[in-house]
Amino acid sequence: QIAQKYNAQSFTINCVCPEKVVMQRMRMRTKEFSLSDATPEIYYRIKENLEKVKDKKNYIEIDTSKPIKKNLDRITRFIKHA
């Protein structure tokens, strides 16, 4: 609605990664200072209640287990060609 109000495009960038990576990242956070309060229980609750994106217009899914530069390049190309 905001994009329509200002005559701008909106984009949905869905960040995902394999569950194994999610669990590894959570374990690493327990070993160092982190502001995240994520736990496997919270992860599974969110995963269970996650709504699928219905409108795939201007939608891209990014795997955050991939290199950041690769993902940023992909997002940039996606937005330029939208």
Quote the distance between the C-alpha of residue 58 and its chain's center: 15
* Stated pTM of the model: 0.80
pLDDT band at 4 (very low <50, low <70, confident <90, very high): confident
Cβ pair 65, 21 in contact under 8 A: yes
- Dump pLDDT digits (tens) for 22-55: 999 999 888 888 888 888 999 999 999 999 888 8
> According to the 3-state scheme, what is the secondary structure of 11-29?
CEEEEECCHHHHHHHHHHH
CA torsion sign for 11, 41, 22, 37 is positive
Contact assessment for residue 60 and residue 9, using Cβ atoms and an 8 Å cutoff: no
- Percent of the chain past pLDDT 90, that is, above it, reads 71
